[in-house]
Structure 1
Amino acid sequence: MNACAIVTGIGLETGLGRGQRTWEGLLSGRSAIVRLGEERGFSADAPPRYGAPLARLRTIDDLLDQLIADALEDANLRLPLSEQGIDPSRVGVAIGLSKGDLTRLRELVGWPDHEPDWTRFWPHGAASQVSRLLGATGPSLAPVAACATGLVAALRGLEWIRRGECDLVVVGGVDVSLDPLVIAAFARMNALAKVDPSNPTAAMRPWSRDRSGFLVGEGGALLVLESPALARRRGARSLARLVGGAIGSDAFHPTNLDPNPRRLAELILQALDDGAMRVQELDHLNVHGTATSSNDPLECQAARRALGIQADRVICVANKPQFGHLLGGAGAVELAVAVWTLSEGVVPPTLNTLPRDPVCDLQVVVSRGQPRPVRTALKISLGFGGHLAAAVLRREEG
């Protein structure tokens, strides 16, 4: 079996709340979708816009400070890491954004009275910031793969541990994108869901016949990955094992997905093979699930093509109806949800799937979380530009 990475800690925040509050919100079937107000720059006189904001407006650097503190606490790590016998030169960071911090960009173009810190708008700023916080002198990388960014970052961390370059890697993705500029761009693309103002939480409808698109959320997640040797030496709790994955492209269009499921199906099989997992072992699939006309049938058809009859036995979930599409942070947050699904043995619901599109006929839980004996999981992320990523997890047994 190929070497794995042990997930020992998670720091996470979405519109559903911080850390376990997001998990509890998912299981209860709660959604964070609300109308966006003037505090986010949306005028009351303009057409209403909806999304899943964090409890308070955050800069990315402020959010990162919180996420890394929570991830380290969850992993029972303290700073400096060297005091726990961890060599800083063998600690890596892979954190991606889909764009720089828009708060900082607005400072730059708004001619503020104070000197704006324009380095905070650099896409690699998040990885650099966390490396400094950790005192980590190992590899520091800021992958950018559109909405697959967070998952690609996790797979880079796995690669460093497998190759023996790192003993510990902090991976993830964050995004704070509820900005009028971003929302207007998605609206022009007709990617945003149609919203009934009396029931905004029903707007995102993955796998439904009447799906119309996604709504944007805010947040992110950082995961602590450790080599099995370091985790054993520390006596660290294992939430799950990241055992494999694959990264690819459909090489089709700047924004449109290739409707042919062949390449995504190949990627799923590549990921399973890399994780030394047989198709028949797969229990759970966390999909990208954007509730767009092209994404949903593509994922379901690719799963059927790759998994065969096992596709009818796999329990699936799409998380975005509850905390929105987190763009660069989506893959990391949803990977963390898949880890919790394995460690807790409960599958979150997928909201608003009825009336079901007959093409999207895989199994989901509705309304509230449901206990299931989930031992293995596959997480898929897709991104504009054809970015594809898939990660394979196993529950820690014993």
Structure 2
Amino acid sequence: MAEHAEHPAYPVGLRLSGRRVVVVGGGQVAQRRLPALIAAGADIVLVSPSAKASVEAMAESGEIRWERRRYEEGDLAGAWYVLVASSDPVANATASAEAERHRVWCVRSDDAEAATAWTPATGRSEGLTVAVLTGRDPRRSAAVRDAIVEGLRDGTLAAPHHRTRTPGVALVGGGPGDPDLITVRGRRLLSEADVVIADRLGPRDLLDELPPHVEVIDAAKIPYGRAMAQEAINDALIEHAKAGKAVVRLKGGDPFVFGRGMEEVHALAAVGIPCVVVPGISSSISVPGAAGIPVTHRGVAHEFTVVSGHVAPDDARSLVDWAALARLRGTLVLLMAVDKIGAIAGALVAHGKSPDTPVALVQEGTTATQRRVDATLATVAEAVKTHDVRPPAVIVIGEVVALD
């Protein structure tokens, strides 16, 4: 191989499912390489007098067969691929020579120039395998591999499906507002979308990154302003999915935390449209955290309760047991409650909650315009007016607010 070292290696993907693969040596190299060979479905035989505990566990679980001895001539009979990685130079050279005679591709961990194959730096993302070879510079290979895989996972590097893409809808939780807080899966699906139906509270900055051909539909539900009826949103999802488009429904927070996500799932299921739900980081925990408030804390709060405040306590439509909430000693997190906070605070105090209970209002949490206003149950209604607190805002009630 050495005399041909100036020529680049020819890249190829080996289909090893059900085919005999021999690994010589049970040390660190085997520990790192075996999982990928197992995932490839190879019929793996390990030849080694000893092995690391994790490698031994693979044998005990039946994922590989282990011959507890040194390498012997003939061990490569019927093999399609061999990984030589023992600490015995003589065994390594002998196994390599046998592989050469039988024309079995052989990787040498101790001597790359003596090998007939090299192992690339490999990464995977959603069914896509990335393999990078840079000759004698494995660190560079790994760095390039990591950059590509990270880009694929976070959506900054687009690799959309063409032959195998299935039209449908993805309900993606966009997180609390900061575009960096969307999940990597959500960002990837967004980068592959043909149509995006977006809420106002979704991470709007991500829309700027979409290619020009992507149709963006505004489904904003702006308080006290125009709103796209839920039925119209459902109809739009169905229409575009039936047209063969990849549709992303981009929602703020998590689709199933006061996001009406299940209504959309039911509407799609009723007409047979496939739908995947991608959870998002809920503002109920992320926004308090961004403002320096833990919703739980040892010795202070052992539970937290998340409540929608869009309906006042005295409204006949309310499903909340405010009396029970007032008796709890933990943290109360209110969403969509800015305009009802006076009535809510009054109900909690009326049911026994101390008027001095700390309250924090965090407006536009995790974004560049985030601000925090502190008050108590007795003063929070006035604080909203004085400081002109507007939605979206998360309200936190409890002793955790006072933690420094």
Does the alignment reach a TM-score above 0.5? no
Interval containing the TM-score (normalised by the shorter chain)? under 0.3
TM-score under structure 1 length normalisation: 0.24
Structure with bigger gyration radius = 2
| TM-score in terms of structure 2 length | 0.23
